[in-house]
C-alpha cells in the first residue's frame, strides 16, 4: 500500500485525570510479572485513506470504541511489535534499536496490506509514552518497560479487501524478569503442527500467527514442556523457531548456526544483535538450514554443545532438552545452561543497560 508523504505529526498530550495512586503503583511494581500490568497512558494515531496519519495523541489508557464490523475483528488485519525501555547505569532511560522495530513493523504492514508508518513517527510514539510513564519503571532486578506498538484495521465493513481506516497504538507494560528464576534451561516439544508455510505470513509479526500457535503451545504445556518447537511446513524436517523466539546452535569448534530467513521465520532483532556480538567475539556464525535429525545426532555425538532461544521478552533462554512425539527425548550437553549462552546474554544485557560500550550504536538514550 502506498504511503503518502507524511509531514511530521504533532502529538496532543492529554494527561490522565486520575492516574493510579502512587502507593498502589509502587506495590504493583514490586512484582510486575510480564504483560499483566499497564501504565497510565497510551499513544494513538489514526490513518484514513486519502488523509494518511493524523490525530496523534498521548492520552489516558482506556478502552477504544470499535465498530463490531471493524475489519480487524473478522479478517485479522493486525500487526505488532515488542521492545523494551531500559534504565541505564546513570539512571536515564533508553530504547534498544527502536528503528529496527520500526522497519520490521513496516515489513509486517506491507505483508498484511496495511499502511506503513514513517519510522521516525514510530520511534517518537515510543519515546513519548516512555517519557510520560517513566515513573512506572519497576525497581526490580532485570526490570524494564515493555512497549507494545500495534496496528489494527478499524474500518467497519465485511468485504475481503484491505481496510481504509487503521489505528496505530502503543501501550506499555512494566516487566520483571520473563523467567522468574533467571534463565533455567527449557524443554521443547516438537510440534506436528506448523507455524508458517512458504509464501505465508511467517516473517510478519501478526497476531494471526500467534492465534495459530496456541493449540500447539497448549499441547506442549500439557505434556510438561516449556515451549513448542516448529519445523518447516513443506518437509517437516528443518528447524524453524519456537512460538516467539529464534534459535541458535553452538558447536564444539566455535561455530554457531541459526536457521536462515527464507520467509517463514520471524527476523528477530535479538537474533540479529547476537549474531553481531558473536562475530565480534571471533565466532563463525552461519545462517543455515539444520534438521531435527541432525540435531539429535549432533547432541548424541557431543559435537553440539549448547542451544539457546532468543527474543526481546526473555533475551536469551538456554534449551536443555527436546522431545519428539515419535523418537522421544534427547538432551543437549549437560541439559543445563551453557557457557557461551550465558556470555552472549551478559554481553547483550550489559550493552542494553549501558554497562558496556555500544560499538554498534544500538542504544537510543531518552532525554
Q: Which residues of the chain form contacts with ligand PLP (CB under 6 A)?
A: 82, 205, 241, 244-246, 266, 268-271, 311-312
- CB of 132 or CB of 250, closer to ligand PLP: 250
Q: How near is the Cβ of 311 to ligand PLP at its closest, in Å? A: 4
* Closer residue to ligand PLP in complex, CB, 39/246: 246
Residues present in the chain in total: 367
Do the bridges between strand 227-231 and strand 239-242 make them parallel or antiparallel, or are there none, so unpaired?
A: antiparallel
272: phi then psi, degrees, rounded to nearest 5:
-65, -40
**Residue 189, phi then psi, degrees to nearest 5:** -110, 120
Minimum CB distance to ligand PLP smaller for 49 or for 107: 107
Q: Which is nearer to ligand PLP, 19 or 268 (CB)?
A: 268
| Least distance CB 9 / ligand PLP (angstroms) | 25
Q: Is the CB of residue 256 less than 8 Å from the CB of residue 249?
A: yes
Distance of alpha carbon 353 from alpha carbon 96, whole angstroms: 9
- CB closer to ligand PLP out of 154 and 317: 317
Shortest Å, Cβ 211 to ligand PLP? 12
Element (H, E) at 52: strand 52-60
Q: How many CB atoms lie within 10 A of CB 289?
A: 15
To ligand PLP, the closest distance from the beta carbon of 214 in angstroms equals 13
Nearest to 150 by CA among 110, 200, 99, 108: 108
Closest distance to ligand PLP from the beta carbon of 56 (Å):
25
Bridge partners, residue 190, by sequence: 229
Amino acid at each position: 500500500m502506498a504511503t503518502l508523504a507524511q509531514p511530521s505529526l504533532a502529538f496532543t498530550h492529554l494527561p490522565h485525570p486520575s492516574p493510579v495512586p502512587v502507593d498502589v503503583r509502587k506495590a504493583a511494581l514490586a512484582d510486575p510479572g510480564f504483560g499483566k500490568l499497564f501504565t497510565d497512558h497510551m499513544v494513538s494515531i489514526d490513518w484514513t485513506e486519502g488523509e494518511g496519519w493524523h490525530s496523534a495523541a498521548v492520552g489516558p489508557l482506556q478502552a477504544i470504541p470499535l465498530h463490531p464490523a471493524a475489519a480487524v475483528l473478522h479478517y485479522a488485519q493486525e500487526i505488532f511489535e515488542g521492545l523494551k525501555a531500559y534504565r541505564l547505569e546513570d539512571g536515564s532511560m533508553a530504547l534498544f534499536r527502536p528503528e529496527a522495530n520500526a522497519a520490521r513493523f513496516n515489513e509486517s504492514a506491507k505483508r498484511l496490506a496495511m499502511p506503513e508508518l514513517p519510522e521516525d513517527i514510530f520511534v517518537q510514539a515510543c519515546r513519548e509514552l516512555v517519557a510520560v510513564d517513566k515513573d512506572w519503571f519497576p525497581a526490580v532486578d532485570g526490570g524494564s518497560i515493555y512497549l507494545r506498538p500495534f496496528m489494527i484495521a478499524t474500518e467497519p465493513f465485511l468485504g475481503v479487501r484491505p481496510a481504509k481506516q487503521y489505528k496505530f497504538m502503543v501501550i506499555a507494560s512494566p516487566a520483571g524478569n520473563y523467567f522468574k528464576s533467571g534463565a533455567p534451561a527449557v524443554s521443547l516439544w516438537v510440534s506436528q503442527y506448523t507455524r508458517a508455510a512458504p509464501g505465508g505470513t511467517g516473517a510478519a509479526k501478526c497476531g494471526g500467527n500467534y492465534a495459530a500457535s496456541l493449540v500447539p503451545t497448549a499441547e506442549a504445556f500439557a505434556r510438561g514442556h516449556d515451549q513448542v518447537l516448529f519445523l518447516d511446513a513443506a518437509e517437516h524436517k528443518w528447524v524453524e523457531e519456537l512460538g516467539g523466539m529464534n534459535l541458535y546452535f553452538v558447536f564444539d569448534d566455535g561455530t554457531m548456526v541459526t536457521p536462515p530467513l527464507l520467509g517463514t521465520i520471524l527476523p528477530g532483532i535479538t537474533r540479529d544483535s547476537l549474531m553481531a556480538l558473536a562475530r565480534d567475539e571471533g565466532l563463525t556464525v552461519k545462517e543455515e538450514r539444520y534438521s531435527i535429525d541432525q540435531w539429535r545426532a549432533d547432541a548424541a555425538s557431543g559435537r553440539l554443545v549448547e542451544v539457546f532461544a532468543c527474543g526481546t521478552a526473555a533475551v536469551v533462554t538456554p534449551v536443555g532438552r527436546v522431545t519428539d512425539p515419535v523418537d522421544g527425548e534427547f538432551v543437549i550437553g549437560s541439559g543445563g545452561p551453557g557457557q557461551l549462552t550465558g556470555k552472549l546474554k551478559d554481553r547483550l544485557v550489559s550493552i542494553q543497560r549501558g554497562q558496556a560500550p555500544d560499538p554498534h550504536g544500538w542504544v537510543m538514550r531518552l532525554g
